[in-house]
Amino acid sequence: DQQVKQNSPSLSVQEGRISILNCDYTNSMFDYFLWYKKYPAEGPTFLISISSIKDKNEDGRFTVFLNKSAKHLSLHIVPSQPGDSAVYFCAASRNSASKIIFGSGTRLSIRP
């Protein structure tokens, strides 16, 4: 059973517009949520995270929103740039546990 779900395998957004990537989770014990970005033939790189005590975290063009009651988080990228084209993984962890659980990823394509 997937504890972290990314239901959109792909997303295409025009350059300059907002990209919104969504993620749902099932385990209410998760208290940290992370987004990773992956280019082909490279390992994932950390992008941004949020603690369960917050509902928003912003870092430059990237903002993560957390809705605990809906067990839903989203990553907003604005404005979207060509270099943002990559696979984005949503991930979650429990502070007391060792493992980070990843979703299946969303491939974001930024078109000119």
Partner 1 sequence: GAGVSQSPRYKVAKRGQDVALRCDPISGHVSLFWYQQALGQGPEFLTYFQNEAQLDKSGLPSDRFFAERPEGSVSTLKIQRTQQEDSAVYLCASSFDFPTTKNTEAFFGQGTRLTVV
CB of 97 to partner 1, least distance (A): 8
**Does residue 37 sit in helix, strand or coil?**
strand
CB of 80 to partner 1, least distance (A): 21
Judged by CB under 8 A, the number of residues near partner 1 is 27
Calpha distance 65→82 (Å, rounded) = 23
Q: Which residues pair with 87 in a beta bridge?
A: 38, 107
Closer residue to partner 1 in complex, CB, 17/106: 106
Q: How far apart are the first and last CA of the chain?
A: 38
Structure tokens at 96: 């007391």
Can you tell me which of 32, 62, 72, 109 binds partner 1, judged by CB under 8 A? 32
Angle at 68 between CA 80 and CA 3, to 5 degrees: 85
Range 49-108, binding partner 1 (CB under 8 A): 49, 51, 59, 89, 91, 93, 95, 97-105
- Find out whether 75 and 63 touch, Cβ atoms under 8 Å: yes
Closer residue to partner 1 in complex, CB, 17/39: 39
What is the contact surface with partner 1 in residues (CB under 8 A)?
4, 6, 32, 34, 41-46, 48-49, 51, 59, 89, 91, 93, 95, 97-105
